[in-house]
Amino acid sequence: MSAPLPRTCLSDSWARCSTNYNLDPSERWETQMLSQPELRFVSGRTQRLIQSALPEMQHLHQLVDSLDFMVMLADPSGIVLSRHTQPSQLSGCRRWRFQAGAVWDEQNAGTNAIGTCLREERPVMVVHDQHWRLCFRKLTGMAVPVYNSIGELAGALDISSFTAKDVLPAAPLLMDALLTTARRVEEKLFHDRFGQDMIITLGPSTSSSSRLVALDRDGHVRGATHASRRQMNWPEGELSSLPALLTLLDAQEQPSFRRAEAQVIHSTLATVHGNVSAAARLLGVSRSTLHRKIRTLGLER
């Protein structure tokens, strides 16, 4: 599991607040709220993300509700798109601006879970006095990045509380739940986009992005998640002119690529119920080449 943000990186956020943003930590400040027309525009632009995230957010809220956490989804600008909480917490949510339309970007709100997660593009935990602004030091927040179907940062998934006291003992479990939920949202977006292609995995992931790749009938790469792109050094956005995936992996010598190659072959064979000929066609290699790789990688039953 990815660890919460180290103190040194929180110090980097504090340095940005002081030097780059010129924020006064003692200033009484309230989070900016979008108007209803502005929120409708932003929500319409991110509708697919919101729809994919809603059921996963509901499930996550069931897990963290007993610890007085609510669940929020923000876009890359730090604008809250959706929130799940108990009715008893609604007044507190209004007071602290834990609601749709609130803007929690680091540049204005200072060090906070959503804004700093988006700025660092990595999991973040900000507890009480780790917030830059004094007025936010009763808050506890944890956030992880969420990625879309073409590897781009789509926003942040957050759990926050204005009443939680000692959350450190539960922090690893809470962070693991956040990471799992973010991966499930990304996987839903990826399957919705590439549902007609064969989707395989390059191996397990401990980040907020799954290692998925979509292949066409000739074994060429049609799409890849953020984690797969980082592993393979592929750019964000649409992928084109890439050779068959197995050819790409075969050209690499590092042990990580050997493991990825084994995972791809295993995943493909499972998809076609062990049919080597069908797997070879999907991977863009000959049947004899695939047989050789199966023996070399120790994948024979």
**pLDDT tens digits along 18-33:** 999 999 999 988 889 9
Nearest in space to 72 (alpha carbons), one of 165, 169, 167, 182: 182
User: What share of the chain has pLDDT > 70, as a percent?
Assistant: 90
Matching residue, tokens 């290692």:
211
State how far Cα 301 lies from the chain centre.
35
How is residue 88 written in tokens?
A: 């008893």
What pLDDT is recorded for position 131? 96
- What's the rounded Cα separation, in Å, for the pair 192 and 86? 30
Task: Tell me which of 5-9, 44-48, 244-248 is least confident.
Answer: 5-9
Is residue 33 within 8 Å of 103, Cβ to Cβ? yes
User: What percent of the chain lies above the pLDDT cut of 90?
Assistant: 62
- Please tell me the distance from the alpha carbon of residue 23 to that of residue 264, in angstroms, as a whole number: 49
Q: What SS3 class is residue 91?
A: helix
User: pLDDT at position 243, please?
Assistant: 64
Q: Please, what are the domains in the chain?
A: 7-190 (3.30.450.40), 195-296 (no CATH)
Q: Are 139 and 50 in contact (CB under 8 A)?
A: no
3-state secondary structure of 108: helix
First-to-final CA distance of the chain: 31
At residue 155, what is the residue type?
A: G
Q: Is the pLDDT of residue 177 over 90?
A: yes
Q: Which of 143, 154, 139 is nearest to 115 (CA)?
A: 143
276 pLDDT tier (thresholds 50, 70, 90): confident
**Can you give the pLDDT at residue 1?**
44
- Per residue in 183-233, pLDDT tens? 999 999 999 999 888 888 887 888 999 999 988 877 788 899 999 999 888
Kindly tell me if the per-residue pLDDT of 138 is higher than 90: yes
pLDDT given for residue 3 in this prediction: 53
Mean pLDDT of 288-293: 80
Q: Give the tens place of pLDDT for each residue, 58-117.
A: 999 999 999 999 999 999 999 999 999 999 999 999 999 999 999 999 999 999 999 999
CB-based contact 206:1 (threshold 8 Å): yes
